[in-house]
């Protein structure tokens, strides 16, 4: 039977692995109940002192694969169920051992206190390196620190304020042809918009002709991350599976686009202070040599993909929430009228639009684009009084922390007012992690916050958004938190 399945895998592609595990689930579920034994509930308030890893609560699962089938089927449900067992819970994902970290203090211990003992070397990051190379998202150690220092000036507050004009101009141009009654797919529109913004602000290139293709290719890349935790990654890379070939084609086409951007920059007098110009002008501290084109490509592709995807999803979910809370949408538009008086916003207006900022913060709480942070222990460390072995994966889920009643009152309610100054008093710092935390906190945090706020101001100054009747809202937790079936909306004039 194994040989038969392998022969079929050439035709069925990645479905081979899924078929194998679905069969295992049906067979093993007859014989396995609570394979990992009885579970214990641990709580950070009663933190033990130097206890063994074996004493941690464990999710019940199947022999060999543990909860891998559940992770592939519904990762949000798996993590939500695990969180009911405690603040540190052990998961078994086929060949991988993982620990769900579900308390702000424990998250701080992993990401800050023990940051030198963990790194982004989980299966997801290793799979990502196959596409993005050693860009900022996937690089580790000294290379990551050096590249972060190099890129940091492009994300300074003063530089981001300079980008504000482009945020607004591109958003206004993108929506200039909209008409009342037009039905749009919000994720698709926001992806095109944010791609144009990233292309202009960071690379000083126009990507409007490439935006549709890049969006499609990023969708293809999602396959990489959905299959990242499956066993035998090296073997699957060598098999002529349709998913493998599709990913290779996507990489080749993305490479062609990015290398064209690099060539255009070198051949013309473009903005010398753009991020791409900084990469091309960078010199090795010891040898004085320029950064190889491969490394420039890795950084550029990483920022192009990550820089538009998270913002597009943040805008998508914010517009969805506003469509479900029309009174908040009206209040926000009233603020825009009072502050802007019919004019387009500027970067200076960012601080003058408190409700806009509160709406964005609340949207990022309920629907964090980066819904899961994964790290790996490079050596044994202690978390919450437990000894965690080397090579253990850590799952820190903003999706769970942001919806935890211990840290947020009425956590499932959309309440922008919770982000007024005094309302945040007493909230643990690591209870809110839309951009991660610690030394690897997202370098584009302030860029994304201003971009989303100013684009939102442009959109709502002129339009109102209503969810289409046929909309089927379902979450797709992949590389980012997406809308599985798109999000059709009807736009209307105010």
The per-residue pLDDT for range 235-279, each reduced to its tens digit, is 677 777 777 787 788 888 888 989 988 888 888 767 777 888 888
- Quick one: pLDDT band at residue 16, thresholds 50, 70, 90? very low
Question: Under a CB-based contact definition with an 8 Å cutoff, are residues 132 and 382 in contact?
Answer: no
Range 213-217 contact pairs with CB under 8 angstroms and sequence separation of 24 or more: 213/253, 213/257, 214/254, 214/257, 214/304, 214/308, 215/188, 215/191, 217/250, 217/253, 217/254
pLDDT of residue 394: 97
Residue 261: the pLDDT is 87
Per-residue pLDDT band for 8 (boundaries 50, 70, 90) equals very low
pLDDT of 27 > 50? The answer is: no
| DSSP β-bridge partners for residue 466 | 490
Q: Which tokens hold the place of 467?
A: 């969810």
SS3 content of the chain, % helix, strand, coil (to 5): 55, 10, 30
For residue 319, what pLDDT band results from cuts at 50, 70 and 90?
very high
pLDDT one-digit tens code per residue, 457-492: 999 999 999 999 999 999 999 889 999 999 999 999
Q: What pLDDT score does 266 carry? A: 82
Q: How many angstroms from the chain centroid is the CA of residue 191?
A: 14
pLDDT at 2 over 80: no
pLDDT at 48: 46
Calpha distance 106→92 (Å, rounded): 20
Q: What is the pLDDT of residues 47-81, one digit of tens each?
A: 545 799 999 999 999 999 999 999 989 999 999 99
Contact 457, 345 (CB under 8 A): yes
Which tokens is 320 given? 């969805």
What is the per-residue pLDDT for 222? Answer: 63
pTM of the prediction?
Answer: 0.87
């Amino acid at each position: 039977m194994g040989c038969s399945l392998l022969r079929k895998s050439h035709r069925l592609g990645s479905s081979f692995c899924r078929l194998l595990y679905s069969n295992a689930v049906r067979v093993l579920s007859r014989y396995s109940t609570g394979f990992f034994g009885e579970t214990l509930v641990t709580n950070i308030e009663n933190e033990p002192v130097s206890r063994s890893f074996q004493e941690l609560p464990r999710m019940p699962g199947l022999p060999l694969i543990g909860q891998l089938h559940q992770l592939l089927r519904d990762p949000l449900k798996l993590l939500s169920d695990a969180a009911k067992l405690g603040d540190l819970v052990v998961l078994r994902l086929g060949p991988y051992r993982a620990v769900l970290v579900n308390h702000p203090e424990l998250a701080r211990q992993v990401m800050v206190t023990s940051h030198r003992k963990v790194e982004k070397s989980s299966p997801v990051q290793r799979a990502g390196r196959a596409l993005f190379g050693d860009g900022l998202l996937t690089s580790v150690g000294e290379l990551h620190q050096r590249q972060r220092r190099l890129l940091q000036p492009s994300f300074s507050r003063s530089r981001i304020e300079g980008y504000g004009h482009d945020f607004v101009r591109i958003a206004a141009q993108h929506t200039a042809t909209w008409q009342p009654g037009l039905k749009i797919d919000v994720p698709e529109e926001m992806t095109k918009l944010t791609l144009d913004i990233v292309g202009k602000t960071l690379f000083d290139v126009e990507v409007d002709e490439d935006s549709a293709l890049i969006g499609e290719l990023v969708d293809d890349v999602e396959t990489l991350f959905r299959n990242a935790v499956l066993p035998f990654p090296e073997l699957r890379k060598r098999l002529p599976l349709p998913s493998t070939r599709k990913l290779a084609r996507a990489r080749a086409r993305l490479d062609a686009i990015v290398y064209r951007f690099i060539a255009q920059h070198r051949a013309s007098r473009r903005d010398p202070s753009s991020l791409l110009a900084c990469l091309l002008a960078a010199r090795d501290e010891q040898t004085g040599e320029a950064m190889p084109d491969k490394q420039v490509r890795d950084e550029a592709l990483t920022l192009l993909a990550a820089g538009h995807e998270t913002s597009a999803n943040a805008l998508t979910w914010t517009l969805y929430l506003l469509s479900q809370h029309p009174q908040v949408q009206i209040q926000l538009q009233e603020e825009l009228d009072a502050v802007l008086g019919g004019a387009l916003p500027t970067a200076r207006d960012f601080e003058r639009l408190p409700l806009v900022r509160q709406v964005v913060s609340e949207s990022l709480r309920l629907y964090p684009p980066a819904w899961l942070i994964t790290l790996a222990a490079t050596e044994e460390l202690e978390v919450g009084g437990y000894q965690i072995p080397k090579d253990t994966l850590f799952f820190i889920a903003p999706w769970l922390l942001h919806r935890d009643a211990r840290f947020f009152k009425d956590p499932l309610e959309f309440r922008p007012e919770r982000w007024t100054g005094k309302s945040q008093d007493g909230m643990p710092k690591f209870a809110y992690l839309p951009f991660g935390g610690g030394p690897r906190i997202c370098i584009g945090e302030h860029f994304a916050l201003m971009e989303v706020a100013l684009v939102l101001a442009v959109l709502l100054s002129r339009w109102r958004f209503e969810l289409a009747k046929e909309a089927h809202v379902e979450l797709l937790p992949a590389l980012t938190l997406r809308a599985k079936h798109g999000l059709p909306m009807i736009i209307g004039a105010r």
